[in-house]
Amino acid sequence: MPGWADSVIWWHCYPLRFVDAERSAIDHVEHRLGRLAAWLDYVISLGANGMLLAPVFASRGHGYDTLDHFRIDPRLGDDGDFDALVAEARRRGVRLLLDGVFNHVSEDHEIVRRAREAGPGSEAGAWIRWVGEYPRGFEGNLDLVELDLSHPPVQDYVVGVMSHWLDRGIDGWRLDAAYAPGPDVWRPILDRVRAAHPDAWFLAEVIHGDYADFVARSGVDSVTQYELWKAVWSSLNDHNLHELAWTLTRHARFAETFRPFVFVGNHDTTRIATTLHEPRHLPLAAALLLLVPGVPAIYAGDEQGFTGEKTDGPSGDDAVRPPFPDSPAGLAPFGEPTFHVHQRLIHLRRTHPWLVSARLSVREVTNETIAIDLVGDAGELTLALNLTDAAAELPGVHGALRVDARDWALG
């Protein structure tokens, strides 16, 4: 894992909706990437120093239906706009991570068109996966055709895409749906990319399973820690911190071998402020996000207390992928208290950088209180959470960081 990744706190945004782009492909260029550059200073003021971008490549609609991996989506801009964003990020020391949607492409992609024309069993047809005579759709979505990442020419293609944008100045890749083809197909791809870009960082989207095994076999640096995401909001909602304690014990084992990617919200989930039954528990979720070992990511807007529910249907993601103002000056004032909570927690993490690899153990736990010991070579910290309305004393816990609704009120 490249050393710089230990100090990164990512701010994750969804560019197409962030800039309120058209819902489908256009035949001209709209220069909108500059609106992302206008938020770089905001990212720094938050205390973060990385921008994780959902898909920016030419696509038919939502970005995960790619048409061309080598072209910026015209709804966002062109190569010049992208180069300007990279330059502005570099000038501020902000890392950039792009979303690599390589498991599948749009049914309108040139790769799929050639495969359909040639049919199964042909060289062109070997680029995609089939169900009988029909291209295989990702998780039943027939408009998202799966590539066969075990096929050497497809691997050459993915290596070429990754290297192209790393050469253009990005710092790494999020591998969308990395779980679908399994860990082993990624190893030869990533080994080749690392040979040319040893400082690149790779994050795999993995929902469940043996995270450590996936990292070891695939060669990625990190995977999405969905287990902890679920335990955070579920344990807070149910007032059952035993669930959190159990998951943190597993998280500690993962953190012994790699840096888990920690989050409490992303572009595929209901906003944490909506998921939590009690808004006063939002600071507790933020404390867990930013202080446990691993690499944290804040989904853009969560630090402002944005709400939004993910639902089923064609527009089910809209509420969690809203347009943003042209600049931070356009934000509503109601989000300031939540923003300041995140700033304070990030400041604490910056003060104790060893937290990224801290040894974690749960000292005391009840349904509504928990004490989490974090120990590193450079220090120790105990994080004590209290879900109750009253002061709580945990045996043996003194001078700890105590996070509850009374001390970290959001107003």
Tens-digit pLDDT string for the chain (411 aa): 789 999 999 999 999 999 999 999 999 999 999 999 999 999 999 999 999 999 999 999 999 999 999 999 999 999 999 999 999 999 999 999 999 999 999 999 999 999 999 999 999 999 999 999 999 999 999 999 999 999 999 999 999 999 999 999 999 999 999 999 999 999 999 999 999 999 999 999 999 999 999 999 999 999 999 999 999 999 999 999 999 999 999 999 999 999 999 999 999 999 999 999 999 999 999 999 999 999 999 999 999 999 999 998 888 999 999 999 999 999 999 999 999 999 999 999 999 999 999 999 999 999 999 999 999 999 999 999 999 988 887 776 666 666 665 555 443
Per-residue model confidence (pLDDT) at position 405: 53
Q: pTM for this one?
A: 0.95
| 378 CB-contact burial (10 Å; exposed 0-12 / middle 13-18 / buried 19+) | exposed
Predicted local confidence at residue 383, as pLDDT: 95
Question: What is the pLDDT, as a whole number, of residue 407?
Answer: 55
- Write the DSSP string, 29-61: ----THHHHTTHHHHHHHT--EEEE---EEESS
* Rounded (5°) CA angle 321-296-149: 70
Give pLDDT, residue 391. Answer: 84
pLDDT in tens, 364-390: 999 999 999 999 999 999 999 999 988
**Quick check: 16 and 24 in contact, CB under 8 A?**
no
What is the per-residue pLDDT for 397? Answer: 66
**Lookup: tokens for 361:** 């153990």
Q: What is the pLDDT of residue 409?
A: 47
Query: What number of other Cβ atoms are within 10 A of residue 146's Cβ?
Result: 22
What is the Cα–Cα distance from 263 to 261, expressed in whole angstroms? 7
Q: What is the CA radius of gyration of the chain?
A: 22
What amino acid occupies position 320? V
Q: What residue ranges in 134-219 does DSSP mark as E strands?
A: 134-135, 137-138, 141-146, 172-175, 201-204
Q: Which domains does the chain have, with CATH numbers?
A: 3-356 (3.20.20.80)
Mean pLDDT, the chain, integer: 95
pLDDT value at residue 410: 44
